[in-house]
A and B are shown apart, each in its own frame.
Chain A
Amino acid sequence: MNKWASKLEHRIISNWIDTGASVLDLGCGDGDLLTSLIREKQVHAQGIDLNDHAIQNCIAQGLSVLQEDIDKGLSEYSDSFFDYVILNQTFQQVKKPDFVLREALRVGKKIIVGFPNFLYITARLQMFFRGKVPVTPSLPYEWYDTPNLHFLSIADFKEYCKKRNILIERSAFTAKNKTVLLLPNLFAETGFFLLSK
């Protein structure tokens, strides 16, 4: 995961995190985000991923990482165990996103999510004019090889948070490695949210 994680994305997430905080990164991939958070914010970092190579790369970077399936929950961690739980490019790929998000909100005082916006304008145009499932920089896969199991827009996610009484403290949007300020549901490839209960 974190395949398209750019410096900008890392900067957005890093800006939302307090120095010295404890951080759990669900679907931490090769651990690049955690490594930059340790460097910039001196966080106490813990990663979880299922992929063999991801685990080995994390350990090679000196990170603490657990090879586990986040769909099975985080039951060993007590409530508010971490200051932040991060789901960057992760929860659209889990089997039970609702469950995983609720678990993340339970064990984290705050959570940060980042996901590709399925209704980004390029995707909309591809669907409308080409009549095909979109392939974009933030959704680079063909229908037959995508790890993404759930497709959602920024508007969908905001509605979900409202329904679940999740507070959106901050949000940020990006496209083509730049910040998007106008009509994010249309012009953003990726959305980031800082959430709390």
Chain B
Amino acid sequence: MTDKSLENVETRSYTFACPPKELTLDSGEKFGPVTLAYETYGTLNAEKSNAVLVLHALSGDAHAAGFHKDDTTPGWWNNLIGSGKGLDTDKYFVVCSNVIGGCKGSTGPSSVNPKTEKPYGADFPIISIGDMVNAQRHLIDHLGIDKLLAVIGGSMGGMQVLQWMVSYPERIQAAVPIATTIKHTPQQIAFNEVGRQAIMADPNWRKGNYYNRGVPAKGLAVARMIGHITYMSDASMAEKFGRRVRVDRKPFKFGADFEVEGYLRYRGDTFVKRFDANSYLYLTKAIDYFNLLNGHRLSEVFQGLKAKALVLAFKSDWLYPPYQSQEIVKACKLAGVDASYCELNSTYGHDAFLLETEQETQLIKHFLKSVSDKNGTGDLHA
């Protein structure tokens, strides 16, 4: 199905927190100006009550749906967003922004520091999931939206959803955290640390000040390869690659003989072209440090939250296993939050939230409908 309305989408940007009104980061540091790259799909209704904020994962960006001009690849969640889809752009006004610390148009380590007129590099401040959400809140203010119909995202995007539930509970009507957790386990931190070490071990990294020289491509590619292994599952890899060897392999001892090796190398190499190594370091640290409890008890985190929650997990996801989503559900129950929980069947592992969108679409569609029906909004043509 082609969706005319999303044929020529554009990324826009919003700059705020200019000195002296800098953003106060969770670290206590003041930082500004901040630019957020964002895209919108659909139309904001007169009551401004049909806005849905989509939050991206580690390597995502503002381009969640549709096609940029002369581009053949759609946005990263195009399966879910569009006319008649789960996030129906005929009904909802969908907003997606690149996170602070990212490298796809929002202020991050590769952005130019106005004070030095050079890229921030390792001088970029430590940022948290809370800072990402705080920055998004400025964008939502700018768009004139008082209350979001829903915040929705998977993985790191799911962490931002949880953070919205805690930081701005009165500004959301519904929350959909997918394949995520209230805090990383040592195993999850460990995988990220190996990725970071690969980047920092690359001689081109130069303590983060590599811009205008050679980028730490090898290190970032290895980090991405590790990431990809954790996003798939034993079953999905067996199905996709088996033990097949490449037909074009050369008689070289350590070539990418197996298809899975070639795939990972390809994934690593293409990632380097679109992602900044320092952003990878900063964002994985933000994920690792994320802890919704922050010294509180599980029963306290969602206390008083009026928003409805739909928590989704995937059975084959071993990076963010369902028990971590059940922990979120537990927090909802303890606080009396109106919650639904569903564990979806898929063999895709963690990547399922981006790939196995059929059931996910149905659930989100109906869930959002029940939320928007309740306040008699959501349908522009009603």
CA separation between A59 and B311, bound complex, in Å? Answer: 12
CB <8 Å contact, B345 and A67? no
Using A62-B370, A62-B373 as known contacts, say yes or no to A56 and B340 having CB atoms under 8 A apart.
no
CB <8 Å contact, A67 and B343? yes
CA separation between A77 and B186, bound complex, in Å? Answer: 29
Taking a contact as CB atoms closer than 8 A, the residue among A59, A76, A81 that contacts B367 in the complex is A59
| Number of A-B residue pairs having CB atoms within 8 Å of each other in the complex | 49
Closest beta carbon of chain B to A53's beta carbon, Å: 10
Q: Which residue of B lies closest to A78 (CB)?
A: B334
Pairs of residues from A and B, 5 with the lowest C-beta to C-beta distance, nearest first: A62-B370, A76-B333, A66-B341, A60-B366, A55-B342
B300 interface residue, CB < 8 Å from A? Answer: no
Majority-rule SS of A interface residues = mixed
Mark A41-77 against chain B: 1 for CB-CB distance below 8 A, else 0: 0000010000010011011111111111000000011
B188 interface residue, CB < 8 Å from A? Answer: no
CB <8 Å contact, A56 and B359? yes
CB <8 Å contact, A56 and B342? yes
Q: Which residue of A lies closest to B367 (CB)?
A: A59
By CB atoms of chain A within 10 A, which of B326, B342, B369 has the most?
Answer: B342
CB <8 Å contact, B340 and A76? no
By CB atoms of chain A within 10 A, which of B339, B340, B359, B366 has the most?
Answer: B340
CB <8 Å contact, B339 and A66? yes
Using A56-B359, A60-B366 as known contacts, say yes or no to A66 and B340 having CB atoms under 8 A apart.
yes
CA separation between A66 and B331, bound complex, in Å? Answer: 13
Q: Which residues of A contact B373 (CB under 8 A)?
A: 62
Closest beta carbon of chain A to B379's beta carbon, Å: 15
CB <8 Å contact, A67 and B330? no
Tally of chain B residues near chain A (CB < 8 A):
24
CA separation between A77 and B340, bound complex, in Å? Answer: 15
Q: Which residues of B contact A62 (CB under 8 A)?
A: 366, 369-370, 373
CA separation between A67 and B323, bound complex, in Å? Answer: 12
CB <8 Å contact, A64 and B338? yes
Taking a contact as CB atoms closer than 8 A, the residue among A67, A77, A81 that contacts B342 in the complex is A67
Q: Which residues of B contact A68 (CB under 8 A)?
A: 326, 341
CA separation between A76 and B334, bound complex, in Å? Answer: 6
CA separation between A126 and B167, bound complex, in Å? Answer: 63
In the complex, which residues 357-376 of chain B have their Cβ closer than 8 Å to any Cβ of chain A?
Answer: 359, 362-363, 366-367, 369-370, 373
Q: Which residue of B lies closest to A77 (CB)?
A: B333
Closest beta carbon of chain A to B305's beta carbon, Å: 14
Majority-rule SS of B interface residues = helix
CA separation between A60 and B363, bound complex, in Å? Answer: 7
Closest beta carbon of chain A to B308's beta carbon, Å: 7
Q: Which residues of A contact B341 (CB under 8 A)?
A: 65-68
CB <8 Å contact, B333 and A59? no
Interchain residue pairs with CB less than 8 A apart (19) = A52-B343, A52-B344, A55-B340, A55-B342, A56-B342, A56-B359, A56-B362, A58-B340, A59-B342, A59-B370, A62-B373, A64-B339, A66-B333, A66-B341, A67-B341, A76-B333, A76-B334, A77-B333, A81-B336
CA separation between A46 and B333, bound complex, in Å? Answer: 11
Q: Which residues of A contact B319 (CB under 8 A)?
A: none
By CB atoms of chain B within 10 A, which of A65, A76, A81 has the most?
Answer: A76
Q: Which residues of B contact A56 (CB under 8 A)?
A: 342, 359, 362-363
Q: Which residue of A lies closest to B363 (CB)?
A: A59
CA separation between A64 and B333, bound complex, in Å? Answer: 12
CB <8 Å contact, B339 and A59? no
Q: Which residue of A lies closest to B364 (CB)?
A: A59
CA separation between A55 and B366, bound complex, in Å? Answer: 12
CA separation between A64 and B366, bound complex, in Å? Answer: 11
Q: Which residues of A contact B343 (CB under 8 A)?
A: 52, 67
Taking a contact as CB atoms closer than 8 A, the residue among B329, B334, B336, B340 that contacts A59 in the complex is B340
B260 interface residue, CB < 8 Å from A? Answer: no
B310 interface residue, CB < 8 Å from A? Answer: yes
Q: Which residues of B contact A61 (CB under 8 A)?
A: 366
Q: Which residues of A contact B344 (CB under 8 A)?
A: 52
CA separation between A77 and B299, bound complex, in Å? Answer: 11
